Amino acid sequence: MTIRNLSPCSSLAVAVLVTGLILSSCNMPRPETPAPAPQPLPTATSMPCSLVAPDIPAQESPIYETRRPTLAWLYAGACTVDGFSVQVAPGGDFDAPETVSGETAPGALNWTPDQDLSPATFYAWRVAALLDGVPGPSSVTTFFWTGPSCDGSNLQAPVLLIPEEAAFISDPSPLFEWDYPQGGCLQANYALEVSASLDFTTDVLHAGVGPGRSFETEVSFLEDCIQYYWRVKAVFGDDISGPYSESATFYADLNASCGSHSGLPLIAGVVWHDVCQSSGPPGPVAPPGCVYREGGYGPDGIRQDDETPLAGLVVYYAKGGCPPTGPIHEAAVLTDEEGTYYQYVTPGSYCVWIDTAQEANTAILGRGRWIYPPGGYDSPVWHNLTLEWGDMQTDVDFGWYFIR
């Protein structure tokens, strides 16, 4: 449209119209800014991978008869790993140079060593997942023993180690350790006994122990100021037992309240065959090892180096004076191959004797009489002792003369 020859009033009207059109354009709708596109939520596969410790399931037996056992585990981690690192250490020492280690392929959940482990040996093992060559947290350390297991045909007496003989113990549930002399095979089971009496007529503790040669419980079972005895035997199956170890003793001083002491008193001695080698009538000088007795020569009651020790004899001791009263005996010990015996006791008075009427003693002694200790030749003879803390009575001897 063309506008020409407008009057001043007409020109003003046009200006107002144009201005109104410009102002009205400010309220016109405008296109909205587009909203951001929705982002996906994080998932387990999109998050950084975090390794977890593998789980080792319980096994039926702690003994592997093979020297190359297959060790298995479970893994519940969310990400795929490159494999697993396995370590097997003798005695549980992963820093030992004999430690065997290896890695598995991805996805493998078991591992077998590529070399023989030592026979009849205690091992610990652990496993960790690998990612980019870096191991994650290790599993709980698990233990096993290698075979072969002993077959029960040659059970031996264990050797006691801890507690040491005549030790003072402050722990009401102490550690017990022993060794087993049979090499080449693994003894699978032991029986541990602890008693307050040397003849083990009552048990304070009776524990079945697996192939480990030690035992410890968190249950307090010792009483204060009591002397205890312990022993161990090997066990095969349900009803086959080997010989007991020698019994050992210790003293429970749990709270340092048992009075001052310098060690348990010791009673020890030797039993021997007292001999007098003589022939013919008595002369002015007695032969070596002899004294004049009852119209002739007899043993002198002094042990000579060439006189024979008597092994396997039962030596009794009872608390109190001689002759013993009350119960016939408190305890009994055997003489060893050297004819010696010993026993640690608590302070007090004791009677020590050998009963020739006891069946085992009669089988060894036969016909004869006691020459030592002095004071009489008829059975029984005895030693009357009084001992304090730390006393050591090591000459409580007995000499026997065989009558042919």
Q: What is the pLDDT along the chain (404 residues), one digit of tens a residue?
A: 433 343 333 333 333 333 343 334 334 444 454 555 554 444 434 446 789 999 999 988 999 999 999 999 999 998 899 999 999 999 999 999 999 999 999 999 999 999 999 999 999 999 999 999 899 999 999 999 999 999 999 999 999 999 999 999 999 999 999 999 987 899 999 999 999 998 898 899 999 999 999 999 989 999 999 999 999 999 998 889 999 999 999 999 999 888 777 899 999 999 999 998 876 666 677 888 888 877 678 888 999 888 999 999 999 998 888 888 765 556 788 999 999 999 999 999 999 999 888 899 999 999 988 999 976 555 578 999 999 999 999 999 999 999 87
User: Exposure of 282 by Cβ count < 10 A (0-12 exposed, 13-18 middle, 19+ buried)?
Assistant: middle
322-340 tens-digit pLDDT: 888 765 556 788 999 999 9
Write down all domains in the chain, each with its CATH number in brackets.
63-146 (2.60.40.10), 159-252 (2.60.40.10), 266-402 (2.60.40.10)
Pairing state between β 398-402 and 266-273: parallel
Under 8 Å CB-to-CB from 137, ≥6 apart: which residues?
51, 52, 53, 128
Q: Which two tokens stand for residue 195?
A: 């008693």
Q: What pLDDT score was predicted for residue 30?
A: 45
Query: Phi and psi for 157 in degrees, rounded to 5?
Result: -80, 125
Q: What pLDDT score was predicted for residue 79?
A: 86
Pairing state between β 240-241 and 142-146: unpaired
User: Exposure of 216 by Cβ count < 10 A (0-12 exposed, 13-18 middle, 19+ buried)?
Assistant: exposed
